[in-house]
Amino acid sequence: MTPHLLNVYNRADPLFERGDGSWLFTREGDAYLDCVGGIATNALGHAHPALVAALTGQAQKLWHISNMFRVAGQERLADALTAASFADRVFFANSGTEAIECALKMARRYHFVRGAPERTMIYGFAGAFHGRSYAAINAAGNPAYVEGFGDRLPGYATLDLGDVKAIASAIAASTTAAVIIEPVQGEGGARDVPRALLRLIRGLCRRHGVLLIYDEVQAGMGRTGRLFAHQWHRGIEPDIMAVAKALGCGFPVGACLATAEAASGMAPGTHGSTFGGNPLAMAVANAAFDIIAAPETLAHVRDVAQLLRSGLESLRRNYPAIIRDIRGRGLLIGVALHPNNRAFVAVAREQKLLLAAGGDNIVRLLPALNISAADAGEALRRFEASCIAMQVEAAA
Ligand code: PLP
């Protein structure tokens, strides 16, 4: 491995050359079953023909023109995203972090133009992950990610999901601008936030004029078996929402969605991006949207998630010394372990099964939304083989 890459990742060894559906292949021809999916990103697997056609077709016509001009693909996708959600307005960015950045700026700006510039406080939740920019690490407040980067930014504080009293008083405060929450926490441990808590937060935000931001960068775009994770809960909609990852299925693109009311502070000049929503990104994202939003894709996610979950539950019964708990929603699956999760990921890799580690000692299965039942069954077999190998290692 070259020493010339900035040393911020613990990269695993296989050097992948090619992907096909739920499988990744090394130069030597070894096949790995991919249940990482680029961290919930390759939602239609690798080299999906419709996405390849969209990207290569657009590449021959027009790559980039800047947001000084109309971009037809943005208009099409904004119409589709708003028709399928609570939102009226969409801003296209290049990543989840940038979608979050837009959401946070929008929330403060909303209060500013209403004559309440003192409303700047943004409350996030322990265990959240919103990205790596200064604003994103401060909004999530994970001590490991803010350490060493100077003073905490003013106007951010972290709440505990279990502390209803603190949540209520934070939202009631006259300086509060917004609350940001992942309806299903991804990196933090595949925690599905209880409906009652989301409902409480929604109600309190409405009562006190505070904007509610959902981070659906990981849980959105079909991952849970609904187009957006919060759509499992009728009537608990946000004012602003960030999506990314599966939006471009591996092509870098993010989006910040908002109601017309929440977006009303954003005027020309208040925000922007050179690359955000360029024709290449939009060609792929539109093609991906058409497939992911189709009812049969979402029904498949629910079916295959059920298959994986019931398989994992029976593994939990058979390997209680290895598996603690099964969490998450849909195909955002967290398996909480007794042994070290990173050691388990390495053991699974020896079984040619790719898993992602996460907070609270979980491993995540984040397969393609279109993973076949046969490949899901194979993932379970390899997961079981990993449990056995882990037990053997522990006994040795
Ligand atoms: N929000 C959530 C919930 C995420 O899972 C991530 C990435 O893992 C981000 C935001 C940041 O997205 P990106 O890495 O595309 O900037």
One DSSP character per residue, 133-199 reads: SHHHHHHH--HHHHTTSSSPPTTEEEE-TT-HHHHHHHHHSTTEEEEEE-SB-STTT--B--HHHHH
Question: In percent, how much of the chain has pLDDT > 70?
Answer: 100
What mean pLDDT do residues 179-199 have?
Answer: 97
| Distance from residue 61's CA to the centre of ligand 1 (Å) | 30
Amino acid residing at 255? A
Atom of ligand 1 nearest to the CA of 185: 3
What mean pLDDT do residues 104-118 have?
Answer: 98
pLDDT above 90 for 394: no
**Residue 142 CB less than 6 A away from ligand 1:** no
pLDDT at 225: 98
Residue whose entry in the numeric block shows the structure tokens 């929604």: 202
pLDDT at 226: 98
What mean pLDDT do residues 210-239 have?
Answer: 98
**Residue 218 CB less than 6 A away from ligand 1:** yes
Q: For 140-162, how does the pLDDT look when each residue is reduced to its tens digit (9 = 90+)?
A: 999 999 999 999 999 999 999 99
Q: Tell me how far CA of residue 169 lies from CA of 9, 70, 164, 204, in angstroms.
A: 39, 44, 9, 10
Average pLDDT, the chain: 97
What mean pLDDT do residues 111-135 have?
Answer: 98
**Residue 100 CB less than 6 A away from ligand 1:** yes
What mean pLDDT do residues 70-76 have?
Answer: 98
**Residue 97 CB less than 6 A away from ligand 1:** yes
Q: Tell me how far CA of residue 322 lies from CA of 206, 355, 385, 390, in angstroms.
A: 43, 15, 12, 8
**Residue 129 CB less than 6 A away from ligand 1:** yes
Residue whose entry in the numeric block shows the structure tokens 């905490």: 152
Atom 7, ligand 1: residue with shortest CA distance:
131
Q: How far apart are CA 36 and CA 59, in angstroms?
A: 28
pLDDT above 90 for 395: no
What mean pLDDT do residues 344-355 have?
Answer: 98
At 17, the pLDDT band (50, 70, 90 cuts) reads very high
| Distance from residue 396's CA to the centre of ligand 1 (Å) | 38
pLDDT above 90 for 1: no
Q: What is the pTM of this model?
A: 0.98
| Distance from residue 130's CA to the centre of ligand 1 (Å) | 5
pLDDT at 357: 97
Ligand 1 pocket, mutate which of 8, 36, 94, 97 (most atoms under 8 A from CB): 97
Backbone angles phi and psi of 367, in degrees to 5: -70, 170
pLDDT at 341: 98
The token duo for 363 is 């491993």
pLDDT at 330: 98
Domains and CATH numbers, the chain: 16-34+295-395 (3.90.1150.10), 50-292 (3.40.640.10)
| Distance from residue 243's CA to the centre of ligand 1 (Å) | 9
Q: For 242-271, how does the pLDDT look when each residue is reduced to its tens digit (9 = 90+)?
A: 999 999 999 999 999 999 999 999 999 999
Q: Where does residue 45 fall: left (phi above 0), alpha (psi -120 to 50 degrees), or beta otherwise?
A: left
| Distance from residue 136's CA to the centre of ligand 1 (Å) | 9
Ligand 1 pocket, mutate which of 42, 92, 145, 217 (most atoms under 8 A from CB): 217
What mean pLDDT do residues 53-58 have?
Answer: 98
Atom of ligand 1 nearest to the CA of 245: 15
pLDDT above 90 for 7: yes
